[in-house]
């Protein structure tokens, strides 16, 4: 994109924030101009935003570097009064799973990478709520931004707080992968693993559902927040065009890829899955069985070990915590927290590029696993299982792995879910695990 030089415009970026009382974040998201952005995570501000003061896109292998350089240009030397760190200018967006572009029109509008600096943003933190207006380019004057900020604050403070609409209801479902084809692909992967070509591969499926009426993404994200309070929730709309048929990629994911704050990097291994019990005792029994299960522990350790290796070129120290069980509403996972100290000011996107895809969503060895995924899966992953998150001017940022996610387009929604296949995987059990992983989104669609 063309960013004016500062000597042509006086200032490249102008950003102003003001404290506000926004009665409903759900209503604020509903009222935002397209393309809308939503982001929240454990111990992070919730961001509801709209429009694009600047947009960066990139494709191919160099997309991480291209975005990093573009963000440097957009955020460099801005005239910023933010009031709080979380309201400082950040670009929100994400990446496609594979380096090469998509051939599948399901993902029209979602390039290899896409980030926006919102035009208007609500940032909700423990210490209060801010409204921010950003502008880049020739019309980015402090006076014009201050005027817009007044207007936006008034508009957002006056929103009504009516209740969310109920789930739309499902008319029909279409699977990309029939059960027999699934059995064959898991068996073929297991054969390759036993032959020694592969150690692990994550195979996914997609489920296209026809809804009774178009989905309200603000309502879905609000309800997901009640059910999955400890997950990252996100919405990416890549275009302002299309009205209610405009695509929106959203989800409630338990998996952090990386948070970088100064020299501290926080990540973790999340892999290995079991269900929930009907009683607390059954839940505990399932959790203990998961902790003791050789297949799941092996699948998990491949992920934890690879993350440590992938971080080692950047880190002066890496610490892994105790392996434990993370219990969510619909499933339980093995989880190992991992933190590292960077040995220099490595940009968050350098860490994202090094980690993506972890063997929690790709496999090992990475290239063979990615080739297996491309050859096996009868659909395009698009942005499923890829990094989504934000970046600031200092190279800090936070990225989640976009699982438990779906692509909405009017009254159609496509859900994605995958499982790690290792030497002793059983196709039917893996099938059941995929169905469990559809639940978070499916429960928000079904009446
Ligand atoms: C790939 C997904 O989940 C990943 C795979 C897991 C597993 O195989 O046990 C567990 C958590 C995630 O790392 C998904 O939900 O789509």
ipTM for this prediction: 0.98
Nearest atom, ligand 1, residue 384 CA: 16
**Which pLDDT belongs to residue 402?**
98
Is residue 128 a contact partner of residue 46, using CB atoms and an 8 Å limit?
no
- Conformation bin of residue 43: beta by default, left when phi > 0, alpha when psi is -120 to 50: left
Q: Which residues contact 66 (CB under 8 A, 6 or more apart)?
A: 56, 58, 113
In the numeric block, the tokens 């978070």 are attached to 440
In terms of Cβ atoms closer than 10 Å to its own Cβ (0-12, 13-18, 19+), residue 166 is: exposed
Ligand 1 centroid to residue 232 C-alpha, Å: 15
Q: Where are the beta strands (DSSP E) in 189-255?
A: 200-211, 232-236, 247-253
> At 38, which helix (H) or strand (E)?
strand 36-40
Ligand 1 centroid to residue 168 C-alpha, Å: 27
Q: Which residues pair with 341 in a beta bridge?
A: 264, 317
CA angle 303, 340, 319 (to 5 degrees): 70
Q: Given the DSSP bridges, would you call strands 13-20 and 79-81 parallel, antiparallel or unpaired?
A: parallel
**Which pLDDT belongs to residue 6?**
41
**Which pLDDT belongs to residue 393?**
95
- Ligand 1 site, residue 333, Cβ cutoff 6 A: yes
Ligand 1 centroid to residue 196 C-alpha, Å: 23
- Ligand 1 site, residue 256, Cβ cutoff 6 A: no
In the annotation, is 367 catalytic?
Answer: no
Tens-digit pLDDT profile for the chain (447 aa)? 444 444 444 458 999 999 999 999 999 999 999 999 999 999 999 999 999 999 999 999 999 999 999 999 999 989 999 989 999 999 999 999 999 877 788 999 999 999 999 999 999 999 999 999 999 987 799 999 999 999 999 999 999 888 888 999 999 999 999 999 999 999 999 999 999 999 999 999 999 999 999 999 999 999 999 999 999 999 999 998 988 889 999 999 999 999 999 999 999 999 999 999 999 999 999 999 999 999 999 999 999 999 999 999 999 999 999 999 999 999 999 999 999 999 999 999 999 999 999 999 999 999 999 999 999 999 999 999 999 999 999 999 999 999 999 999 999 999 999 999 999 999 999 999 999 999 999 999 998
**Which pLDDT belongs to residue 9?**
44
Radius of gyration for the alpha carbons in the chain, expressed in angstroms and rounded: 22
Q: Which residues contact 43 (CB under 8 A, 6 or more apart)?
A: none
Active-site residue, selected from the candidate residues 68, 152, 237, 255: 255
Q: Which residues contact 106 (CB under 8 A, 6 or more apart)?
A: 379, 380, 382, 407, 414
Residue nearest to atom 1 of ligand 1 (CA): 418
> At 17, which helix (H) or strand (E)?
strand 13-20
**Which pLDDT belongs to residue 5?**
41
The residues spanned by each domain of the chain are 6-157, 170-445
- Ligand 1 site, residue 437, Cβ cutoff 6 A: yes
Q: Which residues pair with 359 in a beta bridge?
A: none
Residue nearest to atom 12 of ligand 1 (CA): 271
In the annotation, is 8 catalytic?
Answer: no
CA angle 204, 56, 37 (to 5 degrees): 65
- Ligand 1 site, residue 403, Cβ cutoff 6 A: yes
Which of 266-297 are b and which e, b meaning 16 or more Cβ less than 10 Å from the residue's Cβ?
ebbbbbbbbbbeeeeeebeebbeebbeeeebb
**Which pLDDT belongs to residue 338?**
98
Residue nearest to atom 6 of ligand 1 (CA): 271
- Ligand 1 site, residue 16, Cβ cutoff 6 A: no
Query: Which of 205, 364, 403 for a ligand 1 pocket mutation test, highest count of atoms within 8 Å of Cβ?
Result: 403
The span from the CA of 169 to the CA of 155, in Å, is: 32
**Which pLDDT belongs to residue 105?**
87
In the numeric block, the tokens 């004016």 are attached to 4
Nearest atom, ligand 1, residue 300 CA: 9
What's the whole-model pTM score? 0.96
Q: Which residues pair with 319 in a beta bridge?
A: 339
Query: Which of 205, 270, 304, 404 for a ligand 1 pocket mutation test, highest count of atoms within 8 Å of Cβ?
Result: 270
**Which pLDDT belongs to residue 247?**
96
> At 149, which helix (H) or strand (E)?
helix 142-157
Active-site residue, selected from the candidate residues 152, 200, 353, 430: 200
- Ligand 1 site, residue 415, Cβ cutoff 6 A: no
Ligand 1 centroid to residue 434 C-alpha, Å: 9
**Domain 170-445, what architecture?**
4-Layer Sandwich (3.60)
Ligand 1 centroid to residue 385 C-alpha, Å: 9
Which among 366, 389, 299 has a CA at the least distance from the CA of 47?
Answer: 389
Residue nearest to atom 10 of ligand 1 (CA): 271
The span from the CA of 269 to the CA of 304, in Å, is: 5
**Which pLDDT belongs to residue 53?**
96
């Amino acid at each position: 994109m063309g960013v004016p030089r500062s000597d042509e415009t006086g200032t490249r970026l102008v950003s102003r924030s003001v404290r506000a009382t926004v009665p409903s974040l759900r209503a604020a998201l509903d009222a935002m101009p397209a393309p809308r952005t939503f982001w929240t995570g454990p111990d992070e501000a919730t961001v509801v935003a709209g429009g694009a003061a600047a947009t960066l896109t990139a494709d191919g292998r160099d997309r991480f570097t291209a975005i990093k350089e573009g963000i440097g240009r957009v955020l460099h030397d801005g005239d910023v009064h933010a009031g709080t760190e979380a309201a400082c200018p950040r670009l929100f967006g994400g990446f496609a799973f594979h380096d090469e572009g998509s051939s599948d029109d399901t993902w029209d509008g979602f390039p290899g990478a896409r980030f926006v600096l919102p035009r208007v943003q609500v940032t909700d933190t423990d210490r209060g709520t801010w409204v921010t207006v950003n502008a880049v380019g020739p019309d980015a004057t402090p006076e014009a931004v201050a005027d817009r900020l007044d207007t936006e604050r008034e508009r957002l403070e006056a929103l009504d707080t009516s209740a969310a609409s109920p789930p739309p209801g499902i008319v029909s479902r279409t699977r990309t992968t029939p059960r027999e084809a699934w059995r064959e692909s898991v068996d073929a992967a297991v054969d390759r693993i036993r032959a020694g070509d592969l150690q692990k591969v994550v195979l996914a499926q997609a489920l296209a559902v026809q809804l009774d009426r178009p989905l309200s993404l603000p309502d879905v994200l609000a309800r997901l927040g009640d059910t999955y309070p400890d997950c990252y929730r996100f919405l990416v709309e890549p275009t302002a065009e299309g009205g209610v048929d405009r695509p929106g990629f959203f989800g409630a994911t338990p998996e952090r890829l990386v948070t970088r704050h100064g020299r501290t990097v926080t990540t973790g291994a999340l892999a290995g899955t079991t269900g929930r019990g009907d009683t607390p005792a059954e839940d505990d029994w399932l959790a203990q069985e998961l902790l003791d299960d050789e297949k799941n522990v092996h699948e998990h350790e491949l992920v934890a070990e690879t993350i440590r290796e992938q971080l080692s070129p950047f880190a002066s120290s890496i610490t892994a915590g105790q392996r434990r069980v993370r219990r969510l509403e619909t499933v339980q996972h093995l989880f190992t927290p991992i933190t590292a100290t960077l040995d220099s000011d490595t940009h968050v996107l350098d860490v994202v590029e090094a980690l993506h895809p972890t063997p929690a969503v790709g496999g090992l060895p990475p290239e063979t696993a990615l080739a297996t995924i491309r050859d096996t899966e009868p659909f395009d992953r698009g942005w499923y299982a890829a990094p989504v998150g934000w970046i600031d001017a200092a190279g800090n940022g936070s990225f989640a792995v976009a699982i438990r996610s779906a692509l909405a387009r009017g009254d159609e929604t496509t859900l994605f879910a995958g499982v790690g296949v290792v030497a002793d995987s059983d196709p039917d059990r893996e099938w059941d695990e995929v169905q469990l992983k559809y639940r978070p989104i499916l429960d928000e669609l079904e009446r």
